[in-house]
Amino acid sequence: MTTHLTHVPAPEGIAPAPGYSHVVWGSGRFIAISGQCALDERGEVVGEGDAAVQARRVFENLRRCLAAAGAGFDDVLKLTYFVTDVAHLPAVRAARDEVIDTRRPPASSAVQVSALFRPELLVEIEAYAVLPEGPRR
pLDDT score recorded for residue 132: 87
pLDDT score recorded for residue 87: 98
Query: DSSP 3-state assignment of 94?
Result: helix
Helix, strand, coil content of the chain in percent (nearest 5): 25, 30, 45
CATH of 5-131, one of 3.40.228.10, 3.40.50.970, 3.30.1330.40, 3.50.50.60: 3.30.1330.40
pLDDT score recorded for residue 14: 94
Return all residues near 98 (Cβ < 8 A) that are at least 6 apart. Answer: 56, 59
Stretches where the chain sits below pLDDT 70 are 1-3, 135-137
pLDDT score recorded for residue 45: 98
pTM comes to 0.92
pLDDT score recorded for residue 19: 86
Buried b / exposed e over 113-126, threshold 16 CB at 10 Å, is: eeebeeeebbbbbb
pLDDT score recorded for residue 4: 86
pLDDT score recorded for residue 3: 67
| Phi, psi dihedral angles at 46 (to 5 degrees) | -105, 130
